[in-house]
Amino acid sequence: MPDSILSRFMRGILSTGFARFMTLGLGMLSLMLVIRHISAEAYGAFVLIRVIYLFLAEVSNFGLTLVIPKYLASSEDVQYKFRLINTVIYFRVLTILVLAPVMFMVKPGLVAHFGSSPFLLSFYIYIPVLFGLESLARTLNSILQGLFLFRMIGIINAISAISYLIATIVFVFPLNLSTLGLIYAVFVSNTLVIISGYIAAHIKDKRGVNLLILKEMLIFGFPLQMQYMLAFVFARIDTLVIGSFVGTAGVALYEVARKLPDSFMCLYDAFRSVYYPFIAKFHADGERERVLKLLNNSNRMFAILTSFGALVAVLFGKEIISLLFSQAYLPSYYPFVALMFGLNLLVLDCTLGYTLVAIGEPNKPLIVNLVRAIISLLLNLVITPIFSFTGASVVSVVSNLTAAPLDVYFLWKKNVRAEMAAFLKPVVISGGYGLLFLLLGTSLFPIKVLFVFLFILTCLLMSVITREDWRVVLAEAKTARNRLLRKEIVGSHKVVK
């Protein structure tokens, strides 16, 4: 991949990742403060509530979250866009009004499953409201994407993150509202998102609708919706099973264990949003070598980063949990370690899956997700009730282990040879040193530093990190420096004038 292409690729990742990094940072700060002030049962109840309303909000949009940007971006007709926007907003309001009462009808079933979680049942009445706000917020975010108002999306996301942090501090600390305070913070945050998004969209001619295009969008979005359903079953069924069999305290411990791996995946979305169009363009232009190079280099570099992160979790996981979340959450250590190792496979599966879609195989990730979701569901129902949240973390790793080989198989059938040896090297090195450290049973800081040094040295000796990597890093650093110097020179000339 030429340097010019690489520079554009890296700039794209940095620009899309800044707002996401800010959101994650403020979210982590909020969690660090809250987790020390309220009980594990109270926080676990909020997590369960959030899982339920997020799931309902996404399920009830029938795939429109992904379809709206495509249809808005495909036309320059202003009236068409306004009619489409009005149609999807009216449709979402209708689904909210229909589903909100239904949610009270299914309350007895949830009571049966989460009877050991009194916190959840006490605040169940807020779930329909949270569902409605989340649904509208996601719809407006998709509309802004289709209108190419990406800067406004970044501003709105920043407003949402800041308002959530401030509201959390106000409601949880001086007012001491515990779980209810976290719910009120979501109210404030999503309400600001809805108001800001609606104003930014400049919606006019509010009476115009287009039912034919809505029907077409719903048909197009159906397979995307099915894929989301399967992805949710894999990503969150463990939390629901833990809440059902262990209670909200177990949910809180598991949520702490998965917080950092989940945060990394949110940052990975910034890479994905740039990687996908590059791969799609290379494939459309018939540049197969560039497809292979970008795919395999991405897999290798992420394998190095995630493997290093997994080893750090083994070595310093207890200190990280104590520092960020307090010693009360130290039981999250082993699930945290397992999920960090599982992160290797999850990132690999995502990169391979988006590559399949980019080369014209959008149905293959659906098959992969179906297999993974079934395995995850069955194993969680059997293992999690026995081994609690530690068992759930192991199930997550095993489920991901089944997905990556299927991705590779489908890519190979399209003559896209994903090189797995380069990916597996750092994973094996990290796993080997992590296991050795656990067997030694030491907590001495110099020994931990020694293991970090040995990991880096072994990666260099086994050519996991190559000279080409160093050359690219130095070249990009030089390019960034020159770009910064040019800006400073231009700025100084303007001042002089």
Residues 253 and 305 in one domain: yes
Residue 239 lies in a domain: no
Residues 192 and 63 in one domain: yes
Q: Tell me: the pLDDT tens digits for 373-428?
A: 888 888 888 998 888 889 989 998 998 888 889 999 999 988 888 888 878 889 99
Residues 203 and 265 in one domain: no
Residue 216 lies in a domain: no
380, 242 in Cβ contact below 8 A?
Answer: no
Query: What is the C-alpha separation between 180 and 127, in angstroms, rounded?
Result: 12
Domain boundary among 156, 179, 209: 209
- pLDDT at position 190 over 90: yes
The first and second tokens of residue 359, run together, are 């080369």
What separation in angstroms does the CA of 415 have from each of 31, 76, 178, 291, 380? 45, 37, 55, 11, 35
Residue 342 lies in a domain: yes
Q: Tell me: the pLDDT tens digits for 439-496?
A: 998 889 999 999 999 999 998 888 777 666 656 555 545 654 565 555 544 444 444 4
Would you state the pLDDT for residue 191? Answer: 94
Query: What is the C-alpha separation between 457 and 67, in angstroms, rounded?
Result: 47
Residues 414 and 272 in one domain: yes
Residues 160 and 53 in one domain: yes
Residue 341 lies in a domain: yes
Residues 255 and 198 in one domain: no
Residue 2 lies in a domain: yes
Determine the structural domain holding residue 279 and report its residue range.
247-465
Q: Tell me: the pLDDT tens digits for 315-354?
A: 999 999 999 888 889 999 999 999 999 999 889 988 898 8
Q: Please spell the DSSP secondary structure of 41-96, one letter per residue.
A: HHHHHHHHHHHHHHHHHHHTTTTHHHHHHHHHHT---HHHHHHHHHHHHHHHHHHH
In this prediction, residues 103-113 reach a mean pLDDT of: 72
Cβ burial of 233 (10 Å; 0-12, 13-18, 19+) is buried
Q: Tell me: the pLDDT tens digits for 291-311?
A: 888 888 888 888 999 999 999
Query: What is the C-alpha separation between 375 and 396, in angstroms, rounded?
Result: 10
Residues 181 and 266 in one domain: no
Per-residue burial over 464-497, b = 16 or more CB atoms within 10 Å of its CB, e = otherwise: bbeeeeeebeeebeebeeeeeeeeeeeeeeeeee
Residue 300 lies in a domain: yes
Residue 479 lies in a domain: no
Would you state the pLDDT for residue 151? Answer: 74
Residues 134 and 54 in one domain: yes
Residues 342 and 427 in one domain: yes
Residues 437 and 324 in one domain: yes
Query: What is the C-alpha separation between 430 and 436, in angstroms, rounded?
Result: 10
pTM above 0.85, yes or no: no
Q: Which residue has the tokens 């370690």?
A: 337
Residues 347 and 447 in one domain: yes
Query: What is the C-alpha separation between 351 and 481, in angstroms, rounded?
Result: 30
Q: What is the count of structural domains for the chain? A: 2
Residue 481 lies in a domain: no
- Residue 377 half-sphere exposure toward CB, CA atoms < 13 A: 11
Provide the residue count of the chain: 497
The first and second tokens of residue 354, run together, are 């988006």
Residues 259 and 387 in one domain: yes
3-state secondary structure of 462: coil
**467-496 and 3-34 helices, crossing angle to 10°:** 90
